[in-house]
Amino acid sequence: MAVQDALALKEQGNKRFTKGDYAGAEGLYSQAIIADPKDPRLYTNRAMARVKLQRWEDAISDCQTCLSLSPDNMKALFQMAQAQVELKDFDVALENAQRAHEIAARTEDKSLGAVTQLVLRCRKERWDNRERARLRQGSELEREVLALLAREAEQAVAECADDEGERRDVQAEWDAKIATMRSTFQLARGEQGKRRTVPDWAIDDITFSIMVDPVITKTGKSYERASLLEHLKRSQTDPVTRARLDVSDLRPNLDLREACAEFLEENGWAVDW
C-alpha cells in the first residue's frame, strides 16, 4: 500500500512540476519518499525540483541518497553535476557530468544531448574560473615586481654621489628597466589573451560544435555521439556520404576524444566557438 501511495504522490508531483509549481512538486515528492524511502526515482525527482528552486545543497543531498540506492543512476549524476557547477565545485561537477555521459552513451539515453552540453558547460566554467585566478595572480605579480623595481631604483639614486648628472643617468637606467618589465607583462597578457582557431578535426560536422565524445563511422568520419544518434533517429544514413549507417556501425574514437579533451583543457573558450 505504501508503494502505491508513493507512486500516486509521485504522479501528482510530476503534474505540479510540469505546470512549473516546483515548490508544490517538491512537497509531493517528499511525501512520496516518506511512503517509500527505498525508491531511487523519488530522490531524483525531488532533486530535479530542488535544482529548479536553486536549492543546490539539498539537491546534491538527494542525489547522493539516490546513488547510495542505485550507484549508476544517470539522472542523479546529471542533477548533482548541475548543482555542483552552480556552487562552483567545478572539478567534482565535471567528474559527475562525465560519469553521467558515459552511462547515457552506453544506454543510448534520450538525455545524451543534454548531458553532453552539461559536460561542455562544466569544462568551460572550470576553465573560466582558472583563467580568472591566473589573471589575478598575474596582476598581483606584476604589481609586486614593478613595486620592487621602483624601490630598487629609489635606493640606487639615493646612493649616488651629489653629482646631479650621475643621478639623472641612474634614474634613466632604472626607468628603462621598469618600462621594459612593464612591456614584458603587457606582451605576455596579449599572447595569453589570443584565442586560437578551433582545429577542423575537433568540430562536429552536424552541430558545428567541438566534440566531447566522438564516434567513428565505417567511412572513417567522426561525429559527436549525441548529434549523430539524433540524426540516425531521422535517417539511417551517414550525414556526409548518405550511405546506410546503423548505430551498431559506430565505434568510439578514443584518440580523438583524448585530443578534444586536451584542447578544451587548455582552451575553455572553445566551448562557445
Cα 24 to Cα 21, 33, 46, 253, distances in angstroms: 5, 14, 11, 45
Instruction: Average the pLDDT over 219-234 and give the result.
Output: 90
54-78 tens-digit pLDDT: 999 999 999 999 999 999 999 999 9
Assess whether pLDDT exceeds 80 at residue 185: no
Instruction: Specify the higher pLDDT residue, 199 or 216.
Output: 216
Assess whether pLDDT exceeds 80 at residue 147: yes
Assess whether pLDDT exceeds 90 at residue 89: yes
Give the per-residue pLDDT at 54. Answer: 97
- Which residue matches cell numbers 544517470? 74
Assess whether pLDDT exceeds 60 at residue 273: no
Give the per-residue pLDDT at 191. Answer: 59
SS (H, E, C) the chain: CHHHHHHHHHHHHHHHHHCCCHHHHHHHHHHHHHHCCCCHHHHHHHHHHHHHCCCHHHHHHHHHHHHHHCCCCHHHHHHHHHHHHHCCCHHHHHHHHHHHHHHHHHHCCCCHHHHHHHHHHHHHHHHHHHHHHHHHHHHHHHHHHHHHHHHHHHHHHHCCCCCHHHHHHHHHHHHHHHHHHHHHHHHHHHHHHCCCCCCHHHECCCCCCECCCEEECCCCCEEEHHHHHHHHHHCCECCCCCCECCHHHCEECHHHHHHHHHHHHHCHHHHHC
As a whole-number percent, the residues of the chain with pLDDT over 70 amount to 95
Give the per-residue pLDDT at 91. Answer: 93
Give the model's confidence band at 154: pLDDT under 50 very low, under 70 low, under 90 confident, else very high: confident
Give the model's confidence band at 52: pLDDT under 50 very low, under 70 low, under 90 confident, else very high: very high
Give the per-residue pLDDT at 195. Answer: 53
Which three cell numbers, joined as nine digits, stand for 196?
Answer: 586560437
Give the per-residue pLDDT at 158. Answer: 82
Mean pLDDT of the chain: 88
Q: Is 194 left (phi over 0), alpha (psi -120 to 50) or beta?
A: beta
Give the per-residue pLDDT at 208. Answer: 62
Amino acid present at 52: K
